[in-house]
Amino acid sequence: MKERIVELEEKARKLRVSIVKTLHKSQSGHTGGSLSAIDMITALYFQKMRHDPADPSWEGRDRFVLSKGHAAPALYVALAEAGYFPAEDLMMLRRLGSHLQGHPDSKSTPGVEVPTGSLGQGLSMAAGMALGLRLDGKENRVYALLGDGELQEGQVWEAAMAGGHYRLDNLCAMVDANALQIDGEVAKVMNVAPIADKFRAFGWNALEINGHDMAAIIDALELAEKVKGRPTVIVAHTVKGKGVSFFENKASYHGVPPSDEELPRALECLGCLED
């Protein structure tokens, strides 16, 4: 397992490089939240989830909902790496006619289950999927990745209430708790803490981890699957802009792509020197 963790860490590093290059090319999109979420997305797509890039609508697949849809670049680089579409497509992100929309669009992109981008809606859709799959007696699991700022949306708590009420143990929410949102610190804009306790109060199993510790992410996902009778939330403490030192912990890089001048420095931070 230790070797596998190292492989996944290397995969995440590679995907960070891809995020930075993709956003530099598009000159539009969300850098900070993509870099904070990518370790969890890597763990899901390259370790935990059952899925088939050659058959995106395979019935046996687990489902993933990127509720914090502005981290679309993180999802797109993972889908490209997994083989849902060619990596060259990433260079068309956010362009007219591209299948890679600014925020995830299930009608455009193979591998995207539902559209997101308007915050607060993904957990409801994930819970609906979990209800439907359970109704059919299927074992598939449903994962939803939310931002911590996103938790300010009331609908998230309606969904949390329903997930607890319907005891959706095939549902796992992950919170990319990078502590920043567009206008600044989440705690100052509108405090959402304590996150885990709030979910627990709604009947969820709650785990807290370091969202950049690959072994901890995998362990938490394994643990979540074993818990029966209630859904699990993994509150993952992360660093916005993780991996690129001068982006880290800066709210100002929420929706800003790397400039021409920043690109080589960003790639250098990620141990990618060939450019």
* Interface residue list for another protein (CB under 8 A): 63, 105-107, 113-118, 120-121, 123-133, 135-136, 154-155, 158-159, 161-162, 165-166
Question: At closest approach, how far in Å is the CB of 170 from another protein?
Answer: 11
Question: At closest approach, how far in Å is the CB of 121 from another protein?
Answer: 5
Strand runs (DSSP E) across 94-203, as ranges?
Answer: 142-147, 171-177, 180-181, 184-185
Task: Select 63 or 230, whichever has its Cβ closest to another protein.
Answer: 63
Task: Select 192 or 218, whichever has its Cβ closest to another protein.
Answer: 192
Task: Select 28 or 118, whichever has its Cβ closest to another protein.
Answer: 118
| Closest listed residue to residue 79, CA positions, set 107, 102, 128, 113 | 113
Q: State how far the Cα of 215 lies from the Cα of 143, in Å rounded to an integer.
A: 18
Question: At closest approach, how far in Å is the CB of 135 from another protein?
Answer: 7
Question: At closest approach, how far in Å is the CB of 78 from another protein?
Answer: 19
Q: State how far the Cα of 274 lies from the Cα of 251, in Å rounded to an integer.
A: 29
The torsion defined by the Cα of 164, 165, 170 and 176, in degrees rounded to 10, comes to -30
Helices and strands counted in the chain (H then E): 9, 7
Task: Select 64 or 253, whichever has its Cβ closest to another protein.
Answer: 64
76 contacts 23 by C-beta, under 8 angstroms = no
Task: Select 88 or 136, whichever has its Cβ closest to another protein.
Answer: 136
Question: At closest approach, how far in Å is the CB of 152 from another protein?
Answer: 14
